[in-house]
Structure 1
Amino acid sequence: MHNMRTILAMGACYFLFAILLNSVGTVILQAINTFGVSKAQAASLEGFKDIPIAIVSFLVATFIPRIGYKIALLGGLSLVTIMCLVTPLVGNFWALKALFAAVGCAFAIVKVSVYALIGQVTDSTKSHSSLLNTIEGIFMVGVLSGYWVFSAFLSEDISSNNWLNVYYLLAGFSVVTLFLVWFAKIEKSTSTTPSSNSASGDFIAMLRLTYQPLVLVFIISAFLYVLIEQGVGTWLPTFNNQVLNLPVDVSVQLSSIFAASLALGRLAAGQILKKVDWYIFLNVCLFGMAILVLLTLPMTKNIPQNAVTSVFNAPLAAYLMPLIGLLMAPIYPVINSIMLSSLEKHRHAAMTGLIVVFSALGGTTGSLITGFVFEYMSGQHAFYMSLVPMGVIVVTLFLFKKRAQQVACSSAV
């Protein structure tokens, strides 16, 4: 029973942070409308979210077991609760920056703690994998829910900042999660950390991995993938609103199709990859993404400003563009799996650190580039730009496959 309380607490943590982290696209749109900031300025919110995740997750990975996972989770949740209460009271763009920085720091703590706790409450590889997938599934449910939670607080008066009241609701949910963590049976880690596993030692081990050609090619692939995903996902609400002329609430609601497509794509890929070679499958996905972009974006030209009142009378392009998530979904998990399975188990922690760091950097870069192009050219040009990293990933996947095969052959000898 105490394990169920711990699992419930972990699921609640992931659900809450899924809403907060993936609200950045909606918040960017509202920041542009409410506070009058430029698209380039609004794009910086992605950096305030991702950079703290990268830095803090590396710095606290070896420290959290010493203070205890419960204290770490309570600290992260307390920080988020305070910032959710402060943000609507202050009501300016800087408050949003501070909020996302706090959310990024707290999520880094939560992710490290939750991944460690999964090992505490499971007793086999099968149960570990099952629980991890369940927790990640809860995260995707949170992502989907977040679009509808935020849209419920949006109004036709785009200059009003009443939408910030959503953070009072999220603060309330954060308090509930705090109590779930408080009453959960979370034991302090009894394992000792060798001196060689100091923060400086972990950092050196992580840097040494980048000297391997396989790891370098993987880093480029992962960086470019997240660049595309965050560039599209973050700016999709703004694209729907300013290019497709949809109301703000409808723009946000239709953006949930992107999150649903990512979830469905990863579930389907798990079955498809049992029968199809990963390299062929990922290339089909990449070419499908390019075709979808080339077919959909011309439909967004000269769209009449009709009175769209709901998701049911939106133009076809509003449904087609988010479906790119269905095709891009398998790429990231597959290359992560191939990369980790190519390394010795004692290097997985350092490799995970690289994945987190370069994923965060890719997300920030993608959002900034898309924001700048959106600002100074057009929304269509911003999304056409995604074709460039798609083409580069085709090349890096070819090199990645060759290097992975060479590593597998050398390991077998």
Structure 2
Amino acid sequence: MNLKQPNISLPLKLTFLIFSMVLNCMGIIIIQLSQENITYDKLGFLESFKDIPIAFISLFAVNFISRFGTKKSLVFSLLFVAICSLILPFVKVFWFYKLWFAIIGTCFALGKICVYGIIRNNMIEEKSLAKTMNSVEASFMIGIFVVNTGFGWLISSKYGEFWKFGFIFISLISFFTVYLFSKLKISEPENKNTRLLPDLSGFGKTSVVVFFAVIFFIVFTEQSFNSWLPAFYKDHLKVNSFFALQASSFLALFSYAGRTITSKIIQRFSLGKYFITCLLLTISLLIIISIIQFYFSDDAKVLLYLFPVIGLFLSPLYPVINAKMIAKIDREKINTFTSLIVIFSSLGSSLSSITISILFERQLLSYYSVYILSAVVVIFILAFAYFRLSANKI
């Protein structure tokens, strides 16, 4: 199988597009439900109903995928997303959002492990992995752009009260992607794993532990933007919901550009140096934003245009460091390793949303950029340690 073939790359990219839209509609839901007298502390914990199932299910997903195969598992997860998105517009109670996100999180855990497994089973060299992963992950950014722009237009239109019917569009794309996978034959390595829990032997080395810490804080930082930037724009910069969502869409657009450009040029550079350069540029932008926010508050509206640029340099971090580490993992262990990536990613996302919700609840939004800057500095320290240790093999 060749991942460059359109019949394979299209459904993989659509899979990430779909999961991106359902995972990152959190920003829209936060804005809409906050207008229905649901407090930010409750909305902050809503993210946990998505992320905790992701972490928990990932422990058992490897066994499930081994039993049913990568393709069937991926189709199963997409079908559940399609059905749940079809139902959502017709349900009005808040508890259903918790259930909905729990199901979405479970499906994402399965889907991401399957997609990473397909890529790793057909790639060997780390720069080729980085190129492919940035290309596929770029569609994740497009999903954020589409969901923010599409729902933004719908909310601001005369049909704004029917905003939840936008999820039917996601349902249709999911059914179409299932159809594409049904036409494909995906070769899979024979796997006789019958363990209920995955075999974690060999993943306790210092370099691996530091890698997972880096992944945790990257997602921690990304989620601070993806779910809460629209609410920050609306509450702190006092723009309307439509403009808040559109401005946030540009973050996704810059992030897409960052990953797409990386997929084109990454083979010319050392992955470690490229990663650190992107980090330094991200830190520089956040310092500028913090200075403007604290010392030039009259010009704070310029933050609407500066925050999205961060996506250009922040977005390549996750696929680049994943590619560098995954290239060292035996193919037999790739599903298990991906499940651990999913677990630490979901924990980073959940903790990020909870702590950001505290900033909102206590009206501490002036420290929003400083909070994110602190997380990026932690990534820099951990990444420096990781690249020093990465010469050691698992």
1:17 aligned residue (16, 19, 23): 19
User: What's 1:73 paired with?
Assistant: 74
**CA separation of 1:300 and 1:246: change in aligned 2, threshold 3 A:** farther
Larger RCO, structures 1/2 (Cα 8 Å, 6+ apart): 2
**CA separation of 1:124 and 1:378: change in aligned 2, threshold 3 A:** closer
User: What's 2:221 paired with?
Assistant: 228
AA aligned to 2:176 is: V
**CA separation of 1:7 and 1:345: change in aligned 2, threshold 3 A:** closer
Give 1:237 deviation, angstroms: 0.5
Identity %: 27
Give yes or no for contact 2:131–2:266 (8 Å, CA) kept in 1: no
**CA separation of 1:50 and 1:278: change in aligned 2, threshold 3 A:** same
User: What's 1:307 paired with?
Assistant: none
Matched, 1:137 2:128: no
RMSD of aligned Cα (Å): 3.4
Matches of residues 176-187 of structure 1 in structure 2 within 5 Å? 176-182=176-182, 184-186=183-185
Matches of residues 311-322 of structure 1 in structure 2 within 5 Å? 315-322=301-308
Matches of residues 77-116 of structure 1 in structure 2 within 5 Å? 77-116=78-117
Distance between the aligned counterparts of 1:294 and 1:191, measured in 2?
A: 52
**CA separation of 1:324 and 1:203: change in aligned 2, threshold 3 A:** same
> TM-score w.r.t. structure 2 length?
0.84
Give 1:362 deviation, angstroms: 0.6
**CA separation of 1:290 and 1:361: change in aligned 2, threshold 3 A:** same
**CA separation of 1:302 and 1:9: change in aligned 2, threshold 3 A:** same
User: What's 2:293 paired with?
Assistant: 297
Give 1:142 deviation, angstroms: 2.4
Distance between the aligned counterparts of 1:119 and 1:224, measured in 2?
A: 23
Matched, 1:149 2:147: no
**Greater Cα offset, 105-114 or 275-284:** 275-284
User: What's 2:281 paired with?
Assistant: 285
Matched, 1:262 2:255: yes
Give 1:259 deviation, angstroms: 1.1
Give 1:171 deviation, angstroms: 2.5
Distance between the aligned counterparts of 1:70 and 1:279, measured in 2?
A: 32
Larger radius of gyration: 1
Give 1:256 deviation, angstroms: 1.1
SS at match of 1:385: helix
Q: Which 5+ residue runs of structure 2 have no aligned equivalent?
A: none
AA aligned to 1:218 is: F
AA aligned to 1:222 is: I
User: What's 2:243 paired with?
Assistant: 250
AA aligned to 2:287 is: I
Give 1:128 deviation, angstroms: 7.8
Give 1:82 deviation, angstroms: 2.6
User: What's 2:390 paired with?
Assistant: 404
AA aligned to 1:186 is: K
Give 1:129 deviation, angstroms: 7.3
Distance between the aligned counterparts of 1:392 and 1:289, measured in 2?
A: 16
2:203 aligned residue (209, 212, 227): 209
User: What's 2:190 paired with?
Assistant: 191
- CA-to-aligned-CA distance 1:67-91 (integer Å, 9 cap, x gap): 2444433432332233223222122
Give yes or no for contact 1:342–1:404 (8 Å, CA) kept in 2: no
Distance between the aligned counterparts of 1:99 and 1:105, measured in 2?
A: 10
- CA-to-aligned-CA distance 1:6-55 (integer Å, 9 cap, x gap): 5544343332222212221222111212x321112112232222222233
Give yes or no for contact 1:15–1:139 (8 Å, CA) kept in 2: yes
AA aligned to 1:392 is: V
User: What's 1:309 paired with?
Assistant: none
User: What's 1:173 paired with?
Assistant: 173
Give 1:148 deviation, angstroms: 1.4
AA aligned to 1:274 is: R
- CA-to-aligned-CA distance 1:163-185 (integer Å, 9 cap, x gap): 11212332333333343334x13
Give 1:352 deviation, angstroms: 2.6
Distance between the aligned counterparts of 1:92 and 1:223, measured in 2?
A: 32
User: What's 1:61 paired with?
Assistant: 62
Give 1:157 deviation, angstroms: 9.0
Matched, 1:353 2:353: no
Distance between the aligned counterparts of 2:295 and 2:162, measured in 1?
A: 34
**Greater Cα offset, 364-373 or 390-399:** 390-399
- CA-to-aligned-CA distance 1:267-306 (integer Å, 9 cap, x gap): 44453783573475255235314323323423784679xx
Distance between the aligned counterparts of 1:9 and 1:399, measured in 2?
A: 36
- CA-to-aligned-CA distance 1:182-214 (integer Å, 9 cap, x gap): 4x133574724145xx233x2432xx523x222
Distance between the aligned counterparts of 1:272 and 1:4, measured in 2?
A: 21
Distance between the aligned counterparts of 1:333 and 1:58, measured in 2?
A: 22
Q: Which 5+ residue runs of structure 1 have no aligned equivalent?
A: 305-314
Count of residues in correspondence between the two structures: 388
Distance between the aligned counterparts of 1:344 and 1:180, measured in 2?
A: 29
SS at match of 1:75: helix
**CA separation of 1:11 and 1:335: change in aligned 2, threshold 3 A:** closer
**CA separation of 1:155 and 1:268: change in aligned 2, threshold 3 A:** closer
AA aligned to 1:225 is: I
SS at match of 2:63: coil
SS at match of 1:91: coil
Matched, 1:327 2:324: no
Give yes or no for contact 1:227–1:365 (8 Å, CA) kept in 2: yes
AA aligned to 1:136 is: E
**CA separation of 1:189 and 1:257: change in aligned 2, threshold 3 A:** same
**CA separation of 1:133 and 1:40: change in aligned 2, threshold 3 A:** same
> TM-score w.r.t. structure 1 length?
0.81
